[in-house]
Amino acid sequence: MFTFILRRLGLLIPTFFGITLLTFGLIRMIPGDPVEVMMGERSLDPQMHAEALHRLGLDKPLYAQYFDYLSNLARGDLGQSLVTRENVWAEFTTLFPATLELALCAMLFASVVGLLAGVLAAIKRGSLFDHGVMGISLTGFSMPIFWWGLVLIMFFSVSLGWTPVSGRLDLMFDIPPDTGFMLIDAWRAEAADPEYNAGAFKDALMHLILPSIVLGTIPLAVIARMTRSSMLEVMQEDYVRTARAKGLSPARVIFVHTLRNALIPVLTVMGLQVGVLMGGAVLTETIFSWPGIGKWLIDAIGRRDYPVVQNGILIVATLVILTNFIVDILYGIANPRIRHAK
């Protein structure tokens, strides 16, 4: 198990370098530099332009800029936003809880519904329910997020008026961001002052529902399909026949002897969804004006805010990689054959 972890860790280093190179290169490929974008349509004095670039260190050759970037990284310095002058890490930590809250709720929704639908479809293989689940998940998998978000808003927010259109909380509330998780903060604020903050928690929850569904749709489809096929495969295993020959109840056979083993590939797929989730968060946050990392990065790209884009993406990518790493380890724990491997 120890060498297993070491080997996985070793793979992280080249991945990490690859990401720095990619983000560094890609943002510079977009035409326009930060100074130009800041000045907008106004004509820019070439002299001032050059001076501004020099101040930002953007007049150096690319390799020197990249080297600076890496050496700053090595010192743990993620730089400042060119626009707000705020520390990138500080901006990230302020905004990240909003994204994490959304991603967690989306994943919770996707896992609970996906696992349940997958298991039931496998048990009732060939039934109407099975075909329904498979059909819907195929649709869900190829759903364009932007369009899907707008459809849900049109229907539930605009036509039915059940859920709010955008944001994390109604403007009439003023909740201190203690944890950054709106559900928790609203809950605590409401508990502290039930009268003044009446209904804050419910409002926060209502704001979360649609974005979670939109963001969770693709992972849901993937998890449901994977769970179903993995269950069907394990149900054919000899040891499941042994379990039935032991006279165990169908529930025990399914949940103890089948699901446990069927979950192993599903777990991996769930881990891979973290990347999908981060990509989806960018779109979802834009549709719902959700003040999180996705919206932050989109804005930063629009402003050619190089440090924010480079390091923001680096942080997100590192998080995705770390999650996948943790999933790998969990995979090892769930599967004794790997756990005991030398």
Partner 1 sequence: MSLLEIKNLSVQFGRKDAPFNAVEGLDLTVNEGELVGIVGESGSGKSVTMMAMMGLLEGQGRIVADKLSFDGKDLLTISARERRKIVGKDIAMIFQDPMTSLNPSYTVGYQIMEVLKVHQGLRGAALKARALELMQMVEIPAAESRLSAYPHQLSGGMSQRVVIAMAIACKPKLLIADEPTTALDVTIQAQIMELLVSLQKSQNMALIMITHDLAVIAEVAQRVAVMYAGQVVEMGAVPGLFRQPVHPYTEALLSSIPEHSKGASRLSTLPGIVPGQYDRPAGCLLSPRCPYVQPNCRQDRPALSPHGEGAYRCHYPLLNKETAR
Residues that bind partner 1 (CB under 8 A): 237-239, 241-249, 252, 257, 260-261, 334-337, 340
Nearer to partner 1, 188 or 257 (CB): 257
Residue 233 C-beta: closest distance to partner 1, Å: 13
Of 158 and 341, the one with the shorter C-beta distance to partner 1 is 341
Would you tell me how many other CB atoms lie within 10 Å of the CB of residue 169? 18
Smallest distance, Å, CB 337 to partner 1?
5
Q: CB of 340: closest distance to partner 1 in angstroms?
A: 7
Is-contact 169 204, C-beta < 8 A?
yes
Looking up tokens 């260190």 gives 57
Q: Which is nearer to partner 1, 121 or 183 (CB)?
A: 121
Cα–Cα distance between 136 and 124 in angstroms, integer?
16
> Which is closer to partner 1, CB of 113 or CB of 232?
232
Tell me whether residue 85 or residue 340 sits nearer to partner 1 (CB atom).
340
Closest CA to 260 of 281, 237, 276: 237
**Residue 202 or 260 having the CB closest to partner 1:** 260
Q: Which of 180, 185, 211 is nearest to 97 (CA)?
A: 180
CB nearer to partner 1: pick between 165 and 248: 248
How far apart CA 193 and CA 201 sit, in angstroms, is 12
Q: Would you tell me how many other CB atoms lie within 10 Å of the CB of residue 181?
A: 18
User: Least distance in Å: CB of 240 to partner 1?
Assistant: 8
**Cα separation, 180 vs 194, whole angstroms:** 20
Rounded CA-CA distance 168/279 in Å is 19
| Closer residue to partner 1 (CB): 3 or 236 | 236
Q: How near is the Cβ of 227 to partner 1 at its closest, in Å?
A: 16
Q: Contact at 8 Å (CB) between 276 and 57?
A: no
Distances (CA, A) of 332 to 2, 325, 327, 339: 11, 11, 9, 5
Asked if 178 and 185 count as a contact pair (C-beta separation under 8 A), the reply is yes
The Cα 217–Cα 141 span in angstroms is 7
CB of 226 to partner 1, least distance (A): 18
Q: How far is the CB of 129 from partner 1 (least distance, A)?
A: 15
Token pair of 146, please?
A: 């932007």
C-beta of 49 vs 252, nearer to partner 1? 252
- CA distances in angstroms from 273 to 84, 99, 222, 316, 319, listed in the order given: 32, 15, 9, 14, 12
Cβ of residue 125: shortest distance to partner 1, in angstroms? Answer: 9
How near is the Cβ of 273 to partner 1 at its closest, in Å? 23
